[in-house]
Amino acid sequence: MTITEKILAAHAGKERVSAGELINAKLDIVLANDITAPISIKEFKKIGAKDVFDKDKIAFIPDHFAPQKDIKAAEQCKMLREFSREYDLGLYFEVGRMGVEHALLPEQGIVLPGDLVIGADSHTCTYGALGAFSTGVGSTDVASAMATGECWFKVPESMKFIYYGKLNKWVSGKDLILHTIGDIGVDGALYRAMEIEGEVIKSLPMSGRLTMCNMAIEAGGKNGIIVPDDITEEYVKGRAKREYTFYTSDKDAEYVDVREYDCSKIEPTVSCPHLPSNTRPASELSDIKIDQVVIGSCTNGRIEDMREAAEVIRGKKVSPNTRMIVIPATQEIYLQAMKEGLAEIFVQSEAVFSTPTCGPWYISPIQRWPLLQQ
């Protein structure tokens, strides 16, 4: 079996599963945010559930409309706060201790290798970087999961993506996954597990791995996943709040497609309007006027991203015709950026250094993709 199949089999209480099989599986973490959780809460009440299945396995993180921009947004977040208090949820993160959900949960050791995680957010596939099976679902699925601790799945077929060679300067996990999406298209991995490996991945830091798995959904993937190794162990060993399991893929596991990429040929890459798959090397876009730059989001708001951005802009000024917004993804990253002097670099460069939030990024795809993606 593949690593995806092994994790699903273990949580379904089965010796093995195969692609296309329908299963019911127990969940380790159920996640929702301030856009999706209110729907889940309403459905949870509607089905007559008396209690949540486990108060320490449901994570509510208001990060899209927080800090709130208006009364309606405040009411959305208020629903999460009141439900969390009513059911004594242990994983509720309010403003001040919050962060962008898909950066916060790995950082806090809440999601771990071998886990099965669902979230009412498409980028829940991020946690595959830790060797977990994680995927986005609808709010009604989350409502049912909050009551039962289970969810049904169709076991996905697996694709393998192998990255070899040497990374060029400024090329990171973001460029690798954008290049891949440009190759296979936004439906190139539709309802498939994207298993990522190769010599480049073995030396890729966790920040790059999280970015790659985060964007599996942009290729239609059910999940992105990387077999855990020493880098995974180093990342989770000081964070884990409970035991975890490393799974691997069997050598004779079946894949519906195998793609290989020579990373020495991949340049810094940008997605142009209006699809993630409309990728071009940044070197071909020097004539494009940039109106706004956002450094952050659940994909690239980690301390490594802050350091790279600071290195580029140090000693320079943001053009008066461009708006630059820098958003560290969590409070911990915010503090680290301050300690390292990165926040000072951004402010001196006349950029905005914001509190952790996914808010400015939550705009329509047509508005989003013209923004600088690197």
Q: Give the CATH number of the domain where residue 341 resides.
A: 3.30.499.10
Tens of pLDDT, residue by residue over 47-104, are 999 999 999 999 999 988 888 888 888 899 999 999 999 999 999 998 788 899 999 9
Could you give the angle at which helices 206-214 and 303-313 cross, rounded to 10 degrees?
Answer: 100
DSSP string, 256-276: SEEEEEEGGGPPPEEEPTT-T
| 100: in domain | no
Q: Give the pLDDT band (50/70/90) at residue 366.
A: very low
CA 145 – CA 15 distance, rounded (Å):
23
**pLDDT score, position 209:** 97
| 128: in domain | no
Q: Using the predicted structure, report yes or no on whether residue 353 has a pLDDT greater than 60.
A: yes
Span 361-368, average pLDDT: 44
| 80: in domain | no
**Cα atoms in the 13 Å half-sphere on the side-chain side of 210:** 27
**pLDDT score, position 357:** 86
Q: Which residues pair with 223 in a beta bridge?
A: 193
CA 101 – CA 22 distance, rounded (Å):
29
Q: Which amino acid is at 46?
A: K
Least confident span in 5-14, 64-73, 115-124:
64-73
Tens of pLDDT, residue by residue over 166-203, are 999 999 999 999 999 999 999 999 999 999 999 999 99
Q: Give the pLDDT band (50/70/90) at residue 361.
A: low
Q: Give the pLDDT band (50/70/90) at residue 255.
A: very high
Q: Which residues pair with 326 in a beta bridge?
A: 295, 353
Least confident span in 67-71, 188-192, 208-212, 331-335:
67-71
Structural contact between residues 294 and 360, judged by C-beta atoms closer than 8 angstroms: yes
Structural contact between residues 191 and 154, judged by C-beta atoms closer than 8 angstroms: yes
**pLDDT score, position 298:** 87
Which of 143, 276, 141, 160 has its CA nearest to residue 227?
160
CA 159 – CA 153 distance, rounded (Å):
18
Rg (CA), the chain: 20
| 42: in domain | no
| 329: in domain | yes
| 346: in domain | yes
**pLDDT score, position 364:** 40
CA 266 – CA 258 distance, rounded (Å):
18
Residue, of 45 and 370, whose pLDDT is higher: 45
Span 116-136, average pLDDT: 97
Share of the chain above pLDDT 70, in %: 96
CA 3 – CA 249 distance, rounded (Å):
5
Instruction: Decide: helix, strand or coil at residue 33.
Output: strand
| 220: in domain | no
Domain count along the chain: 1
Q: Residues of 49-73 as b/e, b for ≥16 C-beta within 10 angstroms? A: beebbeeebbbbbbbbbbebeeeeb
Structural contact between residues 171 and 261, judged by C-beta atoms closer than 8 angstroms: no
Phi, psi torsion values for 190, nearest 5 degrees = -55, 120
Range of the domain at 315: 270-368
Share of the chain above pLDDT 90, in %: 87
| 289: in domain | yes
